[in-house]
Amino acid sequence: MAAGVTLSNHIKYLILTAGIDFSSHVFKIILMQTGYTFDKDADALYADVSGSELATANGYTAGGFTLTGVAVSEDDTDDRAEVTWNSATWVASGTIGPSPGAIIYDDTATDDPIVQFIDFGGDMTQASGGTATIANIEFRAA
């Protein structure tokens, strides 16, 4: 379960300038190497963090898992808008991780901007034969 979610400052700018279309763009989620710390000011683009992504191995592929099942909605009860995606899963053919968190980025927009960092609250590892899953993936504008 995620300990917290932090938006990049760059995504806030792109939303206000109509540079992101959550309903039609392709979004990916990547796992970060142990020791990685998200910087919402400096980590604006995939290129800024790709060197800290887990390497392709053991069922994980660098560049990310393509998120599917996008739903964009307005929630007047909780006074926010939300984007949700289906769960991301990796089947471990060796140990995946450790990883302190995941990053969602827009693979369609110019320069692949980062949307947010999902903090796992500590390093997570998936043993060989298991399935690493990130469920309830969402972006909220409140």
Query: How large is the average pLDDT for residues 65-80?
Result: 95
Contacts of 87 (CB under 8 A, 6+ apart): 133, 134, 135, 136, 137
* pLDDT in the model for residue 3: 64
* pLDDT in the model for residue 141: 86
Work out the percent of the chain whose per-residue pLDDT is above 90: 84
Residue 1 banded pLDDT, cuts 50, 70, 90: very low
Residue 131 banded pLDDT, cuts 50, 70, 90: very high
Least Cα distance to 94 among 71, 60, 48, 46 occurs for 60
Do residues 56 and 94 make contact, with C-beta atoms less than 8 angstroms apart?
no
* pLDDT in the model for residue 36: 97
> How do the domains of the chain map onto residue ranges?
4-141
Contacts of 100 (CB under 8 A, 6+ apart): 32, 34, 35, 36, 37, 119, 120, 122, 123, 124
Look up residue 102 and give its amino acid. A
- Model pLDDT for residues 80-107, shown as the tens digit of each residue: 899 999 999 999 999 999 999 999 999 9
Look up residue 70 and give its amino acid. V
